[in-house]
Amino acid sequence: MSAFEFFFSFYGLVLGLSVAVIATGFATAIQHRRAIRIGWLTLLLALFVALDIATFWDAAWHTFRTAPYTYGMLVVGLTIALVYFLAASLVFPHQIEDGMDLDDHFWANKKSVLLLTTAANSLMVCVSVALQWGKPGFASLAQAMGGLLALYAALVVSAAMTRSRRWFAGLLGLHVLLYLIIAVMPVKLAQAPGGSPANAASAPAA
C-alpha cells in the first residue's frame, strides 16, 4: 500500500460514513412514512449534501494523490472530513417520533448544514492552493478555484440564509443541477468522436 492509498483509505472512510449517515436517515424516514410527514425540503437538502460529498471526494482524489504524505496532511484531511460528517448528521433527525414533521427539523438545521459544507469546501480550496503554491500555473489555478468557491458560496450560503421555500428550492436546485451536469460530462466526452475512457477520466470534477 502506497502512502497515498493509506491516506485516502482513512480519508475516504470518514467521508463514506457521512454518506452512510444520510442513507440511514433517509431509510429510517421511509420506514416511518405513514406516521410522519417527510416533505421535499429535507429530501432536496439530503440530495445536495450527498452529491456535494461525492464531488468533494473526487476533488480530493485529484488534489491529494500527488501531495507528499505527512501527519499534518492526515490531520487536515480528518478535519475536513469531520466537518462533512457533522453536516451529514444534521440532515435527518436522529430520533423519529409519530406525528413528526421533518420540515420543522429542516428549518432548525439547514443553515448549519449548508454553512458546514461551505466551510469544508473553503478548507479544501485553501489546502489545494497551498499545495500548488509556487508551481507553474499557480495564479490561474488559484483564480479559477476562487471563482468556483465564490459561485458555491453565492448559491449555498444564500440558500442557508433564506426563509423562503421557493428561493431555497431555486438556489439549491440550481447547484444540484450543476452537479448532475458535471456528472454526465465525462460520459459525453467518452461518447464524442475521438473520445476515450482515458480522456473522460481526466475531465475536471468541478
Q: Read out DSSP for 7-57?
A: HHHHHHHHHHHHHHHHHHHHHHHHHTTTTSB--HHHHHHHHHHHHHHHHHH
Given this model, what pLDDT does residue 106 score? 96
Q: Is 35 helix (H, G, I), strand (E, B) or coil?
A: coil
Given this model, what pLDDT does residue 188 score? 52
Given this model, what pLDDT does residue 202 score? 33
Residue pair 114/156 in contact by the 8 Å Cβ criterion: yes
Residues in the chain with pLDDT < 50?
Answer: 189-206
DSSP tally for the chain: helices H, then strands E: 7, 0
**Closest Cα to residue 118, out of 148, 74, 73, 75?**
148
Residue pair 88/24 in contact by the 8 Å Cβ criterion: no
206 lies in some domain? no
Given this model, what pLDDT does residue 187 score? 56
Task: Residue 183: give the domain boundaries.
Answer: 3-201
Model pTM score: 0.84
The total number of structural domains that make up the chain: 1
C-alpha distance across the termini of the chain, in Å = 28
pLDDT in tens, 137-180: 778 888 888 898 999 999 999 999 999 999 999 999 999 999 99
